[in-house]
């Protein structure tokens, strides 16, 4: 409500119970003759209801998300993204389609503003202070409250000045060293990708599972580099957890933990990358790094990611097929990526213009190919 632009038309507030939302939406859509609805993300409880109800009413859903390829792209898909994407998980389909598509155009570049992103986040939570009075039945989708989140960020970001030089040295030693190493880029602990699109409940469970397999099956001279997510809130002591698991699995000295640092040089020299379903898996594939995905992201294709289990990956990992990745990249860019961003004026205007053009198309590029 606080962010609604009145020039776009009247806004509509829903203050009822969640089970009454479908009826509210049906009446609203009928009143306005709605044919399409746009959502950012598809996993919030209200969005799940709105998407399902729209399908029943013959209304097209358009879901926005961060880009599969970053930083100058956003994702726009019909009906769902990530685990709910309409993209086939069929390597042969990508080969056939990708070979017919042209090389993607270069994006217009812009510089996202972290300061602006942080400012809007604060304003969003400040506006939320009015929810108990204005929307008493509203319940946030976030796993932690804003004060806890901000306290964690403040503590973590003030420590980064000491961590960055230390982590840079660790990365340099790994890349220059003679021991093979595998990379585990952590996802955010409350990420919907983990909670809703994998069999893991959180990143603690992910780390324990992967370290146990590494201890049993990885080459005895290899290392496991675990890198924290850049936007982690710092609420979990991953360093302490990893040290405890090192002792439990008798692999002391065989893990390297990074709070910060550039992922790209790590991937260039890594023996492999392990992820659940993070977009860092796509980055690893871009670097031709052997990769395994532990759930079903859009890039889990035979020939791109490892087809076997994690226990076998440590010794049998193979680099992704370059031709298949080229076809995958061309297809993703053609079908569900748009030049734009969410955190600076240039990126926002690009996103608005490109999304508006795409919405005018009766059939999405992906549906046309399917």
Domains of the chain, first to last: 18-137+337-360 (no CATH), 146-300 (3.40.50)
Identify the CA nearest to 320 among candidates 332, 302, 295: 302
pLDDT at 367: 94
The two structure tokens encoding residue 48: 């799940």
The two structure tokens encoding residue 329: 């990249």
Other CB atoms within 10 Å distance of the CB of residue 182: 24
The two structure tokens encoding residue 342: 């969410």
In angstroms, the CA 278 to CA 295 distance is 10
pLDDT at 109: 95
Beta bridge partners of 77: 63
Enumerate residue ranges in the chain where pLDDT < 70.
1, 6-8
Q: Are strands 181-185 and 60-66 parallel, antiparallel or unpaired?
A: unpaired
Q: Give per-residue pLDDT as tens, 117-175.
A: 888 888 887 877 788 888 888 887 777 777 788 888 888 989 989 999 999 999 999 99
Identify the CA nearest to 224 among candidates 196, 184, 275, 259: 184
pTM of the model: 0.93
């Amino acid at each position: 409500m606080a962010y609604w632009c009145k020039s776009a038309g009247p806004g509509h507030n829903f203050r009822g119970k969640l089970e009454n939302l479908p009826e509210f939406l049906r009446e609203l859509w009928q009143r306005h003759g709605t044919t399409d609805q746009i959502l950012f993300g598809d996993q919030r409880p209200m969005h799940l209801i709105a998407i399902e109800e729209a399908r029943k009413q013959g209304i097209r859903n358009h879901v926005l998300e961060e880009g599969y390829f970053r930083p100058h792209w956003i994702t726009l898909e019909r009906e769902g993204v990530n685990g709910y994407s309409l993209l086939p998980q069929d390597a042969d389909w990508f080969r056939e389609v990708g070979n017919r598509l042209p090389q993607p155009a270069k994006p217009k570049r812009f510089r996202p503003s972290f300061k602006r992103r942080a400012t809007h986040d604060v304003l969003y939570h400040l506006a939320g202070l009015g929810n108990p009075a204005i929307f008493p039945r509203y319940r946030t989708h976030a796993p932690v409250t804003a004060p806890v989140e901000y306290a964690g960020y403040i503590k973590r970001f003030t420590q980064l000045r000491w961590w960055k030089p230390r982590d840079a040295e660790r990365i340099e030693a790994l890349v220059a060293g003679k021991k093979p190493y595998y990379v585990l880029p952590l996802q955010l602990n409350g990420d919907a990708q983990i909670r809703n699109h994998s069999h893991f409940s959180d990143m603690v469970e992910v780390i324990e599972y992967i370290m146990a397999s590494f201890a049993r099956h990885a080459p005895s001279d290899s290392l496991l580099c675990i890198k924290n997510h850049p936007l982690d809130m710092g609420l979990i002591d991953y360093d302490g957890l990893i040290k405890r698991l090192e002792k439990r699995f008798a692999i002391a000295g065989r893990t390297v933990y990074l709070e910060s640092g550039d992922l790209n040089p790590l991937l260039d020299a890594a023996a492999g990358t392990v992820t659940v379903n993070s977009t860092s898996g796509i980055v690893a594939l871009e670097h031709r790094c052997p990769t395994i995905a532990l759930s079903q992201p859009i890039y889990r294709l035979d020939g791109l990611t490892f087809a076997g289990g994690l226990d076998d990956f440590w010794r049998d990992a193979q680099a992704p097929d370059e031709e298949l990745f080229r076809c995958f990249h061309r297809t993703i860019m053609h079908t569900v990526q748009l030049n734009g961003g969410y955190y600076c004026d240039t990126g926002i205007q690009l996103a608005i213009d490109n999304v508006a053009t795409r919405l005018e198309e009766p059939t999405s590029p992906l549906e046309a190919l399917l």
